[in-house]
Amino acid sequence: LAKTTQPISMDSYEGQEVNITCSHNNIATNDYITWYQQFPSQGPRFIIQGYKTKVTNEVASLFIPADRKSSTLSLPRVSLSDTAVYYCLGDLSGGYNKLIFGAGTRLAVHP
């Protein structure tokens, strides 16, 4: 079963921009690419989703190239409270509803 691929961990410092890239070679043609944030002992929280090009909201930006085989989550000016695990999500099954999470990227933001 195809899965998404992300870096296992990343380190950053307060005030820096962080970019996390996810590879998803087999994303379904008409599926959004979605990103989540998870803090310890909590459920995942929706951050942003997009279909192609660039999407921006109050929390993050999402860049998706034309071939949709990858996506990059951009967190501007991170703070200590952005320390969390970040997941990309998509339907890789060829069906339409089998939403599989990748292993996630553990982001540590340092003072």
Partner 1 sequence: NAGVTQTPKFQVLKTGQSMTLQCAQDMNHNSMYWYRQDPGMGLRLIYYSASEGTTDKGEVPNGYNVSRLNKREFSLRLESAAPSQTSVYFCASSERSPLAGVRSGELFFGEGSRLTVL
Chain positions contacting partner 1, by CB under 8 A:
1, 28, 30-34, 36, 42-46, 49, 51, 85, 87, 89-91, 95-104
Residue nearer to partner 1 on the CB measure, 97 or 111: 97
Q: Residue 20 CB, nearest distance to partner 1 (Å)? A: 14
Which one-letter DSSP state was computed for residue 5?
B
Q: Are 86 and 103 in contact (CB under 8 A)?
A: no
Q: Residue 15 CB, nearest distance to partner 1 (Å)? A: 28
Residue nearer to partner 1 on the CB measure, 34 or 70: 34
Residue nearer to partner 1 on the CB measure, 33 or 60: 33
Q: String of b and e for 64-73 (b: at least 16 CB within 10 Å)?
A: beeebebbbb
Q: Residue 87 CB, nearest distance to partner 1 (Å)? A: 7
Q: Residue 77 CB, nearest distance to partner 1 (Å)? A: 25
Secondary structure, 3-state, 58-75: CCCEEEECCCCCEEEEEE
Cα–Cα distance measured from residue 82 to residue 86, given in angstroms and rounded to the nearest whole number? 10
Q: Are 12 and 25 in contact (CB under 8 A)?
A: no
Residue nearer to partner 1 on the CB measure, 69 or 77: 69
